[in-house]
Amino acid sequence: MTLALAVLASLGVALAAPQTAVQAHDTTGPIVVDGRLDEADWLRHAAQTGFVRSHPTPGGPHGSTTEVWFLQDETTLYVGMRVTGVEGEIRAHISPREDVNVDDQLGLYIDPFGDARTGYIFYTNLYGIQQDMRHAYGEWYIDWDTVWQSMGRRIEGGFEMEVGIPFRSLQYPETTGDRGVQSQDWTVMVPRKIPAEGVKLSWPPMKPRYPRIFEQGASLK
């Protein structure tokens, strides 16, 4: 499945222009979601950087470095994150599902329809403990659950995390082929939470308490 950039003007949807775009590269071999970004496909592509603070005050860099990659095969969207240069505490606990808010976390916001009205939110800690929910028309649905993979591990000066989200676990526009195709116009945001500092980072920049949160997403091509 290809995530292609599309224009929704024909649908009468007025959106803020995505701040930037990121490529979900096709894999050339299997990806094992084990928290190790050691497959060749992770290594051959440049990382997305540019994470900035979104909380407690928006804007400005952080002392550590955050890198993120996107891959896809026919069934799954994969996200990898590497954090280096961490000088403070890295928090991680084995806990019940959904209970990750006191830990360092990788987040992923996905809007598969590109309408800035609905989307999916995923968070995970270094042990792969998962939190997921839906957001639609200003309402949060925290009881929503779906099937996905996640795992992380500590490395020198930081950590790595890996996520695999099957396309079948999401709703998205149906693609019908070259004739009568309905384009895919996904957007994404990647937040990183640092509870020991009370800090949140994000790429692209996410404003606190922004009323239409998915308007801030980057196009996923």
Q: For the chain, give me the number of helices (H) and strands (E)? A: 1, 14
Q: Is 131 left (phi over 0), alpha (psi -120 to 50) or beta?
A: beta
What is the pLDDT confidence band of residue 177, given thresholds at 50, 70 and 90? Answer: low
The pLDDT value given to residue 19: 58
Higher pLDDT, residue 113 or 42: 42
DSSP codes, 142-211: TT-----EEEEEEETTEEEEEEEEEGGGS--PPP--SSS------EEEEEEEETTTTEEEEES---TT-S
The pLDDT value given to residue 180: 52
The pLDDT value given to residue 99: 95
Res. 3: pLDDT tops 50: no
Give the Cα separation of 38 and 209 in Å (integer): 37
The pLDDT value given to residue 175: 65
Find out whether 162 and 150 touch, Cβ atoms under 8 Å: yes
Q: What are the CA-CA distances from residue 187 to residues 41, 104, 128, 130, 140 (Å)? A: 22, 24, 23, 21, 18
Model confidence pLDDT, tens digit, residues 4-13: 333 333 333 3
Q: pTM score, two decimals?
A: 0.86
The whole-chain average pLDDT of the chain stands at: 88
Model confidence pLDDT, tens digit, residues 78-129: 999 999 999 999 999 999 999 999 999 999 999 998 888 899 999 999 999 9
Give the Cα separation of 189 and 18 in Å (integer): 11
Strand 105-111 with 76-84, pairing: unpaired
Find out whether 68 and 46 touch, Cβ atoms under 8 Å: no
Model confidence pLDDT, tens digit, residues 183-220: 678 999 999 999 999 999 999 999 887 878 899 999 99
What is the pLDDT confidence band of residue 1, given thresholds at 50, 70 and 90? Answer: very low
* 133 contact partners, CB below 8 Å, separation of at least 6: 120, 121, 140, 141, 142, 143, 144
Mean predicted confidence (pLDDT) in 45-56: 94
The pLDDT value given to residue 61: 87
Lowest mean pLDDT, pick from 77-86, 158-167, 176-185:
176-185
Res. 73: pLDDT tops 70: yes
Higher pLDDT, residue 183 or 23: 23
Give the Cα separation of 15 and 81 in Å (integer): 28
